[in-house]
Amino acid sequence: MTTTTTITSLGQRAEGVAEIDGVRVFVPLALPGEVVEIEAEGDRGTLLSVLEPSPNRIAPFCPHFGQCGGCQTQHMDRPTYEAFKTALVQTPLRFANIDTEITQFIDAGGAGRRRATLHARKEGAGYMRLRSHQVHDIDHCPILVPALARAPEITRAIHEAIGEADVSFTATITGLDVGVRTEKARASAKRLEPLVGRFRLARLALNGELILQAQPPVAGMGKARVELPMGSFLQATDAAQNLLADYVAEALKGAKTVADLFCGVGPFALRLAEQAKVYAVDSDKAGILALDKARRHTSGLKQLTAQYRDLFREPLTRYELADYDAVVLDPPRAGAEAQVKELAASKVKTVAMIACDARTFARDAAILIAGGYTLADLRAVDQFVHSTHIEIASTFRR
């Protein structure tokens, strides 16, 4: 059904929201206050034209915007964009009955994203189209770091070698770390080997198995250099990693003993160990081994112990936590419910929590507050620029 309607608000996916015959219809690329012509089907609307544009609409900087689904917000001016991102954090907090304001909105885009996953399909190499499982072919992506400028070209070369695949890129100090995933049972690793030399890759893997490694992919973390395991977690931008590490170090300043829970490969633990005794824990065995190796090869650190432990099933208890002045938490999207329940019953004075999901953050924050903590600081860290994701940096104090 083609209809003319007015957009009244923005949804959590940056879609404009209109009400048509009592149904909320979500329209990508539309802004509040705009009169638009759309094709409506159920609660999904497709923007056909903007009849009365919002004064907050700006021209996107990427020619692929609107077709490529990689970005959702390039049409928003800065105040609208920041208000949208801020609401992503504050709305779940209000539902959790936490009345607080974001103290700072931080642009952590830096030089661009150092991580990306492109898709190789018959229609080309790029990101999925908006609301589609088809790929939009791109020649470049302006939100990536310059080191990933050839990512579309590499993705096309992988398609020529083995067919359809998903290709994950990480730009590291020593070169590109590339991981290929395909459902083809007989995908030939041999056909991919020449790409390492052709594109000067640091490492190339197929379905989690190493094909060739010219040199270990390395990331800097404070004084340390960490050799990244295949598939390890890394913040999307180098700027965000440094900003978050600075934030955690300042929040926990003065603490003599720190537990770094969900530590990954150690972006916080290795920085904190410059000023405190650190116990670092994660369920990623390869990440723990990489962190421990970096510790052994870095001078000037205080005692740093890295240990494998599943904090979802076996959180540090309130009795174990008695050994620490402060805790840093950086859980995955599922949050850290079991661990924060133990923290709420502990006597730990300061908790710095970094979160990538606002809903689970609100749930975990409510548990800490009910246990006697005050949410002393809350910041929105925008490393996933022009997307509908936001990172959260927070400090809780007794």
Residue 112: closest CA among 61, 69, 156: 61
What is the reported pLDDT for 230? 93
What is the reported pLDDT for 38? 95
**Domains of the chain (ranges, CATH numbers):** 2-57 (2.40.50.140), 83-110+234-397 (3.40.50.150), 115-218 (2.40.50.1070)
Contacts of 253 by beta carbon, 8 Å cutoff, 6+ apart: 275
Residue 5 one-letter amino acid? T
Average pLDDT, stretch 204-222? 96
The tokens for 96 are: 């959790």
Above 80 in pLDDT, residue 185?
no
Indicate left, alpha or beta for 264 from its phi (over 0: left) and psi (-120 to 50: alpha): left
Judged on CB neighbours under 10 Å (0-12, 13-18, 19+), 361 is buried
Instruction: Give tens-digit pLDDT for 304-322.
Output: 999 999 999 999 999 999 9
Contacts of 108 by beta carbon, 8 Å cutoff, 6+ apart: 237, 239, 240, 243, 244, 381, 382, 383, 391
Fill in the DSSP letter of residue 377: E
What is the reported pLDDT for 187? 72
| Averaged pLDDT score across all residues of the chain | 96
How confident is residue 396, by pLDDT bands cut at 50, 70 and 90? very high
The tokens for 343 are: 């923290």
Cα–Cα distance, 342 to 44 (Å, whole number): 43
Cα–Cα distance, 257 to 14 (Å, whole number): 42
Pairing of strands 165-172, 2-6: unpaired
Q: Is the pTM of this model over 0.75?
A: yes
Indicate left, alpha or beta for 391 from its phi (over 0: left) and psi (-120 to 50: alpha): beta
Instruction: Give tens-digit pLDDT for 66-76.
Output: 999 999 999 99
Cα–Cα distance, 184 to 114 (Å, whole number): 27
Instruction: Give tens-digit pLDDT for 82-122.
Output: 999 999 999 999 999 999 999 999 999 999 999 999 999 99
Cα–Cα distance, 322 to 310 (Å, whole number): 19
CB atoms within 10 A of CB 69: 19
Sign, Cα dihedral of 367, 372, 378, 383: negative
Percent of the chain with pLDDT strictly greater than 70: 100
Above 90 in pLDDT, residue 186?
no
Instruction: Give tens-digit pLDDT for 17-59.
Output: 999 999 999 999 999 999 999 999 999 999 999 999 999 999 9
Indicate left, alpha or beta for 222 from its phi (over 0: left) and psi (-120 to 50: alpha): left
Pairing of strands 218-221, 224-227: antiparallel
What is the reported pLDDT for 267? 97
Instruction: Give tens-digit pLDDT for 188-203.
Output: 889 999 999 999 999 9
What is the reported pLDDT for 184? 80
Active site residues: 356
Residue 120: closest CA among 185, 73, 169: 169
Pairing of strands 391-397, 350-355: antiparallel
Instruction: Give tens-digit pLDDT for 131-152.
Output: 889 999 999 999 999 999 999 9
Instruction: Give tens-digit pLDDT for 235-291.
Output: 999 999 999 999 999 999 999 999 999 999 999 999 999 999 999 999 999 999 999
Give the SS3 label for residue 225. strand
Cα–Cα distance, 307 to 351 (Å, whole number): 20
Residue 313 one-letter amino acid? R
Angle between helices 358-370 and 78-95 (to 10 degrees): 50
CB atoms within 10 A of CB 52: 11
Strand partners, 3: 38
